[in-house]
Amino acid sequence: MLTIQSYPVAVILCFVTMLCWGSWGNTQKLASREWKYQLFYWDYGLGVLLSALVMAFTIGSIGSEGRGFLADISQAGTNHMALAFLGGVLFNLSNILLVIAIDIAGLAVAFPIGVGLALVVGTLQTAFFRPGEVGNATQLYIGVALVAVAIVLNALAYKKLMAAKSGGGKSGGSAFGIVISVVAGLLMGGGFFGLVSKGMIQNFAAPEPGLMTPYTALVVFALGLFLSNFVWNTIASKKPVRGEPVPVSDYFTKGNLRLHAVGVLGGTVWNIGMAFSLIAASAAGAALSYALGQCATMVAAVWGVFIWKEFKGAPKGTSPLLAAMFITFFIGIAFLVISKL
């Protein structure tokens, strides 16, 4: 299997993860113009599973180091596989909530709040599970704290925007979008990455018996995500937080090749980021790998602010808050990177 031993290369992979995790939401934005998010999400889950299998049978099965996918999954312990599968189930619930939040509040808000909160919670949890991989803990936690400050700044900017749109009154929709983002972030940070990494090997060159390589863990995780879709997404379709129920039959009668391809692309882009994050953990450590990847919040905010113009017409005082958010993110990322040097 393909392994990474160089810290600089691992950091580059983490930045690719950041780009992937911060950009997949654009596929939902593109599809939402004519496609309900529930329908988009069926294809998203399919994209995650298919891309995981492709990577497992290609880069996960070549080279002389480690174990190939088929050999690895045949010896993996049931308990470790169950952890990765549960990670997929929990992530899927949190991600569906994040998709709902994007639909309500927009990309520039749902991502920084939801995924940023997941960064804080998930990094602390992963560091607890695998403390031996943490470099300078003080610098790591300072970086996480700065990201948390950036989340607050983003929420304040969004509050000003929604207050202006509602004529100074309270907006139930904006508050609802923030609440869903927070719940999604807590579930995402408290569940999936720590569970997946706990069942993974630590020595990538000579894998420990019973544990899984990143590629095997990714496939089991993807199976948990895909199969739980029939529970979580069915509930989201029949009991949407707003609008009318979405019949599953619409997936077959109202879709076209382009819409399905956009959803599969979204799942594939996200999962490439997940794969690179797991692979980079060998040299960067799981906590740092996860933290850098979840800085995708900044990437999503850039898309939302500058491409989708979600803060267009915002009142005076919003721009400084957004600028402070981006600056704080950059400084936080710097602390995260140097924590392992």
Q: How confident is the model over 110-119, as pLDDT tens digits?
A: 777 887 788 7
Measured distance CA(14)–CA(17) in Å, rounded: 5
Residue 195 has pLDDT above 90, yes or no: no
Nearest in space to 270 (alpha carbons), one of 34, 55, 113: 55
- Single-letter amino acid, residue 300: A
* Average predicted confidence (pLDDT) for the chain: 87
Helices (H), 199-256: 214-238, 250-253
Residue 174 — very low, low, confident or very high, per pLDDT cuts 50/70/90?
Answer: low
Residue 133 lies in a domain: yes
Residue 241 lies in a domain: yes
| 299 three-state secondary structure | helix
Q: Residue 210 gets which letter from DSSP?
A: T
Nearest in space to 154 (alpha carbons), one of 172, 174, 183, 169: 174
Q: Which two tokens stand for residue 24?
A: 């997949």
Which range in 193-207, 221-235, 295-309 is most confidently predicted, on average pLDDT? 221-235
The domain tally of the chain equals 1
Report the pLDDT averaged over residues 162-169.
69
Residue 307 lies in a domain: yes
Residue 171 has pLDDT above 60, yes or no: no
- Single-letter amino acid, residue 293: G
Residue 150 lies in a domain: yes
User: What range defines the domain where residue 58 resides?
Assistant: 7-338
Q: Which two tokens stand for residue 313?
A: 């017409």
Residue 92 lies in a domain: yes
Residue 108 — very low, low, confident or very high, per pLDDT cuts 50/70/90?
Answer: low
Contact 29, 308 (CB under 8 A): yes
Residues of the chain with pLDDT > 90: what percent?
Answer: 47
Residue 46 lies in a domain: yes
Residue 302 lies in a domain: yes
Span 124-145, pLDDT tens digits: 877 776 777 778 989 989 998 9
Residues of the chain with pLDDT > 70: what percent?
Answer: 96
Measured distance CA(201)–CA(208) in Å, rounded: 6
Residue 87 — very low, low, confident or very high, per pLDDT cuts 50/70/90?
Answer: very high
Residue 151 — very low, low, confident or very high, per pLDDT cuts 50/70/90?
Answer: confident
pLDDT (0 to 100) of residue 99: 81
Q: Which two tokens stand for residue 94?
A: 């949190």
Residue 2 lies in a domain: no
Measured distance CA(267)–CA(88) in Å, rounded: 13
What is the H or E stretch that residue 256 is in?
none
pLDDT (0 to 100) of residue 276: 94
Question: What sign does the dihedral 41-151-13-210 (CA atoms) show?
Answer: negative
